[in-house]
Amino acid sequence: MSELFDAVDALVASRAPLPPAAERKRLRQAHGLTLDEVAGALNVRRATVSGWESAKKPTEPRGPEREAYARLLRQLAELYPAPGPTEEPAAAAAVPESFTGTAPEVAAESAQEAAQSAPTPTSAPTSTSTPAPVAAAPQAAARPARTARSTSASRRPGTRKAAPASTVSTPASTDPRFENGPLAVVDVEDGKVLAYCVGGLVLDVPAKSLPALIDWTLKEAKLGQPKLSGPGKDADPLLVLTESALERYGLPAALSEEERLAGRIPEGHKVIKQLARAEWQLTKRGFGPWARIYRPAKGSERACVQLCIPSWHALDSRHWGEAGQLPPADLARVLGTYASRVMTPRGSTAVTGLELMTALHPPTRASEPDADGRRHSEHNPGSLGKDPVDCAPCEAPDGHPLLAALPRFHVRGPDEKLFEEAYDWARPMTDDECLHRNLVGIDVNLAFAAGANGLPVGLGAPTHVTNPVFDAKLPGSWLVDLSHVDLSRVKVAKDKWAELDSALLPSPFTPKGERPEGPAWYATPTVAYAVELGYEVRPLEAYVRYENGRYLDGWYTRLRDAYLATMADLGVDANLSPEDFLAAMEGYRGRDPELAIVVSAIKATVKGGLGKLRERPRGEGWRPGEPWRALSRPTWRPDIRAAVISRTRINLHRKIVKHAAFTGQYPVAVLSDCVVYAVNGESPLDFLPYREGKPLPGGFKLGVNPGLVKHEGTQTTLWGEGVREQFNAPELNLARYIKDGTVTNVDNGE
């Protein structure tokens, strides 16, 4: 009978009534819980919990998640009953002025605290204090409450009481060593040096020199971030120095032209001499916009602080927008949100993207104890190792030492060089397309991240083979003739072929969309697509990597979750219908410009990190045929970059083919991850085939998830034809300008 009763209880619980979305959010915040904590407890994604609390159109949990969620809310409702109508004004009026403009979590908890008891003095923090949640992207106050901290204090300053001691649950990610967050923005106000941390916390800084600031950071500030992987290392604390802080510590507010070109201040600068006298060292790149100050590690103990100097152009405006001009508290919020969801910045977004790969797959790990009980460093399986490996000659970019024997002005052709790049293709419009009113562009979200997901890549050195049998599961570069693949008849499903107009389609095998004319080098995903289209392939030779794995899966997951969480905070949830998604995307950046900066930085981290896998010489006095600095990194892997780009381009072409086979519509331009169609409507919904809310299987689907598409822009067909006529360029790539219609950088028709 007990099993029957359990089944009945589960059935009733599956239809358990839930409070309104606003009440769900109130209960979570009252207990000091973040969206990430609730998602982790219920084994769902953060965006799912955010959808349950959405004020506009809340989603409803189902199955066992609903039962568990209802149980959580019932327990929280017992602890935090809804305030009566006369209690709310009093609570709102009692919110301390210093919290004005802070995150809803902070304001709600402060109001409840003020209504129950007098505020706790900052000089006597309680044991029930919890750090402000970073993952929830807290809204920093214009001027958060200042909290003094003496050099001898051992307690955490500036904390706030979130809930009674018996109900507080410390987040699993909280590390007492880093309880003040991953970073701080150091500023000077009214003669006092202040460190603005995440969550609105502000610390008084007693340091009067840069060496003293480094000491204070490591000994008292409690800044940093726990490692992302078991064998990895904790992130070093990051200090962001404002112009006033630079002046206080004897550094220039801006670099001179000579210093900017060198990327650093002179080694004889007085501040560098101060650091040297205090036995601090700088890395080889010196004291520049992203400086690392350290002492040699003693065992597992690291002593290193990183500096970010926005006025020295540390935050590239192409990726960070106006972040460098934000007030200190707002800048701490932007960088803190990025750090909590991606990682503490290690330099540019490109450098951080590459460092994230290593942080998730460290090259070494501790071995099992030997006979004497000692552990040793050994290779970490699934990583790229600590030593660089040579690429294959076909994978080497021009000027690589492997190509030093080639004649000086030799130009390698497709049969000598692997050339996997993103699309840049366009064609003249047909007479029928010219009769359509508009050109509508759709763009793939985080296309290159989606291309990396689940992709096997080589982990070790290549092996050369001749006349190999193609293996779609084996990463490598293949010399094969694909000129026989005819796009006028392709396989679109098992035993199902489609007749297409190949003249209106780009070739999937070249970035310019031209049909190959003979043997050429391709990455595995490109050759596998030819087989998928129903054609036989016979490689002449290949460089394959028998040691391989899905190295980028964790990297993709981390960046995907960061992107979705930030977009959900901006009101664009993963569970929206196509219509609601398009509406939510309208003006989403204006809802919170600071979080919009984080979105841009996450996107740049994806593209930049992949680009760093094939970093070219950057000055350094380099000459063709000589090695350059990046070649000494184990993460210099042009084959991995080529495989990701290949798969991304193939993913896009597959959707284009499925769309053409089903609708008879063909793109007029494709640029990287943007596709433009000539249609009579103004919205993607006017030409993307949806049946009862379901998209075409294998085709384009609207949504915020990586790999799905969003509306890039709409322009009139007359605009497109006018631009091409103006610049005398019948094949001008209109996808480059579809977003706002502004045409720039046109050179010889492109």
pLDDT tens for 706-717 read 999 999 999 999
Q: Is the pLDDT of residue 593 over 80?
A: yes
d(CA 296, CA 309): 24
- What pLDDT digit, counting tens, does each position of 516-566 carry? 999 999 999 999 999 999 999 999 999 999 999 999 999 999 999 999 999
Q: Does position 123 have pLDDT exceeding 60, yes or no?
A: no
Per-residue pLDDT for 131 more than 80? no
126 pLDDT higher than 60: no
pLDDT, residue 747, reads 57
Residues 6+ apart with CB under 8 A from 702: 578, 581, 582, 684, 685, 688, 695, 708, 709, 710
- Answer yes or no: is pLDDT of 147 > 70: no
In contact, 599 and 605? CB cutoff 8 Å: no
Q: Which of 395-399, 505-509, 632-636, 744-748 has the lowest mean pLDDT?
A: 744-748
Strand partners, 520: 480
Provide the pLDDT confidence category of residue 591 given band limits of 50, 70 and 90. Answer: very high
Tokens for 47? 């965006």
Confidence of residue 297 (pLDDT cuts 50, 70, 90): confident
d(CA 266, CA 552): 39
H/E stretch holding 257: helix 257-262
Rounded to 5°, the CA angle 543-544-545 comes to 135
Q: Per-residue pLDDT for 407 more than 50?
A: yes
Mean pLDDT across the chain? 86
Q: How far apart are CA 316 and CA 310, in angstroms?
A: 9
pLDDT higher than 80, residue 118? no
Q: Mean pLDDT, to the nearest integer, of 270-293?
A: 96
The span from the CA of 330 to the CA of 187, in Å, is 12
646 versus 138: the higher-pLDDT residue is 646
Query: Of all residues in the chain, what percent carry a pLDDT higher than 70?
Result: 84
Query: Counting every residue, how long is the chain?
Result: 750
**pLDDT in the model for residue 230:** 87
The helix (run of H) or strand (run of E) holding residue 450 is helix 447-452
Confidence of residue 57 (pLDDT cuts 50, 70, 90): low
- Residue 537: CB atoms within 10 A of its CB come to 18
Q: Is the dihedral of CA 159, 162, 163, 166 positive or negative?
A: negative
Q: Is the pLDDT of residue 107 over 70?
A: no
Q: Which pLDDT value is given to residue 493? A: 85
Lowest mean pLDDT among 38-52, 191-205, 361-375, 677-691: 38-52
pLDDT band at 375 (very low <50, low <70, confident <90, very high): confident
Locus of tokens 């087989």: 531
User: Which band of pLDDT confidence, cut at 50, 70 and 90, is reported for residue 270?
Assistant: very high
Residue 49 pLDDT class (50, 70, 90 cuts): confident
519 pairs with which residues across the strands?
481
Which token pair is 407? 């004649």
- 32, pLDDT greater than 70: yes
Radius of gyration of the chain (CA): 28
- List beta partners, residue 498: 490
Tens-digit pLDDT profile for residues 464-477:
999 999 999 999 99
The dihedral through the CA atoms of 670, 671, 672, 676 has a sign that is negative
Contacts of 417 (CB under 8 A, 6+ apart): 394, 521
Q: What's the rounded Cα separation, in Å, for the pair 659 and 644?
A: 23
Q: Please give the Cα distance from 653 to 676 (Å, whole number).
A: 13
> Is pLDDT at 31 greater than 90 in this prediction?
no
Report the Cα–Cα distance between both ends of the chain, in Å, rounded.
76
Answer for the pair 369, 164: CB distance below 8 angstroms, yes or no: no
What would the pLDDT profile of 695-747 be if each residue is shown by its tens digit? 999 999 999 999 999 999 999 999 999 999 998 998 899 999 999 999 876 65
**Mean pLDDT across 214-237:** 94
Which range (50-59, 64-73, 579-588) has the least confidence? Answer: 50-59
Q: State residue 531's pLDDT score.
A: 97
What domains are defined for the chain?
2-79 (1.10.260), 132-162+173-347 (no CATH)
- Looking at residue 284, the DSSP 8-state letter turns out to be T
